[in-house]
Amino acid sequence: MFSRRKKYLPEATVYGLIGGIPKTFGGRTGVCLQRADAFAELDGRHVEILTLSPRNDDPEALTARLRGEGRIGKKVTVRSVWADLRRASPHDLAQIASHSTESITIDPAKLPDFDGKPEIKELDDSGKTLRSDRFREDGSRYFSYRLGGENETKSVAIFDTRGRPIAQWNEQYELYFAWFDWLIGSEQAIIINDGPPLARYLHQYQRENVILVQTIHSKHSADPTKRSERLGWTYTPALKNVDRFDLFAVLTQSQHSDLTDLNYIMDNAAVLPNMTAATPMRRIKPRSPGTGVMLARTTFLKRIDHAITAVHSARQSGTDAILDIYGVADEAQEPLETLIEELDTHGTIALRGFDPRAKQKFEQASFTLLTSEYEGQPLVLLESMAAGCIPISYNIKYGPADIITDGVDGFLVPDGDIDAMARRIKDLHTMDEQKLMQMRQAAIRRVGDFSPEKITQLWGAALTRAVSNKQRPAEVDGNARLSSVRIVDGELALRVVLGGDAASGPEWALLSWTERKGGRFGRLPARLEQVGGETQVVTTAHADDFAAVDHGHIDFWIDLRVAGHPCRLRIKGAGDLEPQPLGHLEVYATRFGSLSLRFPALD
């Protein structure tokens, strides 16, 4: 499948990390597997995909299934934390347990007995796990989890082969970290995380010999260019802790630019697009210019009704266009069927359902449509272009504009403009055959920029930089003291004096804010100044900068990088500050003298 010519990646063991691999998947999971396979084949190495889901506790069967589906080759295997804990030898269990420093307080006599099932679980009314016990085939317990409450503390424990507790942690992710330490040991390693929720705790796994990589696969907010827009919950943990990752991988240059403009990313991010294994067509097959194929699950997110309406409109104007839509039926299936019936398309527009050979339809199709509300980097465009099938796509965030050069290898139309899409379908139908052939050839050439070899080379360069820049984990000793605060014409102007090691030549500074009882988060520009021998941070903010929060309290911090180490310091020294209005908000000092905002109580 691949031709190995040279080493692409740094000398380190590479692990993929994902929460779990379900029976049917796409998106992030597919990208994780494809990247691992390319790394393994091109670099001649073994790559393991680490999974944390109990549903993946038979990694050998899962590996065999994925190989049978052509997802991975023989150099890639799946590894499960739960399978390892269940099967580990007494020596290996002792090694994993050695990474715990907590006292063992769990009492096995108070735990449920084995009832023949591999797991005994208790859930609350919302589906949250209250208690979980997992057992080996011989009935011995190997894991126990207690959420905690009034009469018990939260605990995570593992047990030896005789069912006796040998280690305990306060959080489940601490057990995962012990597993990582056991797997990796002292060797140089790279962990590439494709599971966004795992970023909540993964950023805390700081080891001198481990490079942590976090990926982002979709747009970060509904309007990703506006500072006032709320971050999506999926990527808030990753962006809130972005500076603690050694590398932050963004799929497109346009998203990288937006994240930079909003100060979410600084110096550790790289544009690393998804790759496509689609084989560029050598000889373009003849096809009717009006033949369209679309690959998309029938979700409302994909706005397939726009595609149907555009093709119908093109037909109404005299274009002999047809559209076959392939994809798993989802929540929009019935409304789409109704729309097709109401338009009375006479079979020229059809929902064909799931077809494992659907991608081959691009070889006979003239065009494909992409009408999604948003994407990360739609690989379906590259798959169509590899077959000489012209993409007509909404210019959405993100991906289409980073792939398609409008009028050269495809068409970009304004987001949501159905009439413009219909016109492009008509243009294709009336286009000179030579011009149309040039577009198909250009589309095929463009796919080469996303080949496994080229994308792996980009990854290799980014990972090599991350390895070179890696610092021994250390916390920066410092403080941030409010020097002055002014509010003029709705603008909050702050001067903050840095103390301790934080004042020793920080590379950059930002004002960051967090919602005290919630996950909202943002960062604002700041500059560093030397004043009277002091290192000061100068920054401004407006009430609109916090529009993502609609109640409660907002706390202020200074984000820095000092000698290669990230640092976040609470702004203190505001004890003498009298509450002052900032638009609909109020600046005030907490009882600990820290600087914060709040929504004033209504009379």
**Closest by CA position to 424, among listed 412, 438, 439:** 412
- Rounded distance, CA 324 to CA 287, Å? 15
Beta bridge partners of 291: 322
Average pLDDT of span 216-239: 91
Strand locations in 136-207, DSSP E? Answer: 141-146, 155-159, 165-169, 189-193
Closest of 464, 459, 465 to residue 10, by C-alpha: 464
Rama region for 163: left / alpha / beta (φ>0; ψ in -120 to 50; rest): left
- The two domains 13-83+177-271 and 478-598 share their CATH topology (first three levels equal): no
**Tokens 């067509």 label which residue?**
281
Q: pLDDT at residue 1 above 80? A: no
Task: Considering only residues 206 and 286, tell me which one the structure prediction assigns the higher pLDDT.
Answer: 206
Kindly report, residue by residue over 405-439, the tens digit of the pLDDT: 999 999 999 999 999 999 999 999 999 999 999 99
Give 97-152 as a 3 state SS string: HCCCCCCCCCCHHHCCCCCCCCEEEEECCCCCEEEEEEECCCCCEEEEEECCCCCC
- With 0-12 / 13-18 / 19 or more C-beta atoms within 10 angstroms meaning exposed / middle / buried, residue 212 is buried
Distances (CA, A) of 599 to 57, 102, 583: 48, 41, 10
Report the alpha-carbon distance of residue 426 to residue 421 in Å, rounded: 9
Mean pLDDT across 533-558:
96
pLDDT of residue 5: 55
Query: What pLDDT band is residue 603 in, cutting at 50, 70 and 90?
Result: very low
Cα–Cα distance measured from residue 505 to residue 519, given in angstroms and rounded to the nearest whole number: 31
Q: Tell me which of 24 and 300 has the higher pLDDT.
A: 300
Model confidence pLDDT, tens digit, residues 36-94: 999 999 999 999 999 999 999 999 999 999 999 999 999 999 999 999 999 999 999 99
Judge: domain 13-83+177-271, CATH 3.40.640.10: no
Q: Is the pLDDT of residue 2 over 70?
A: no
Given this model, what pLDDT does residue 82 score?
A: 98
User: Hey, what are 64's tokens?
Assistant: 């065999």
Per-residue confidence band for 27, with pLDDT thresholds at 50, 70 and 90: confident
Q: Calculate mean pLDDT across residues 164-193.
A: 97
Query: What is the band of 602 on the pLDDT scale with cuts at 50, 70, 90?
Result: low
Q: Identify residue 260 by its one-letter amino acid code.
A: T
- Which CATH fold would you assign to the domain 478-598? Immunoglobulin-like (2.60.40)
When pLDDT is averaged across residues 331-357 and rounded to a whole number, the result is 94
Instruction: State the fold for domain 291-449.
Output: Rossmann fold (3.40.50)
- Averaged over 192-199, what is the pLDDT? 95
Average pLDDT over residues 506-512: 98
**Spans of all domains in the chain:** 13-83+177-271, 103-169, 291-449, 478-598
Cα-Cα end-to-end distance for the chain = 70
The token duo for 336 is: 């789409």
pLDDT of residue 24 exceeding 90: no
pLDDT of residue 252: 97
Burial class of residue 164 (count of CB atoms within 10 Å of its CB; 0-12, 13-18, 19+): exposed
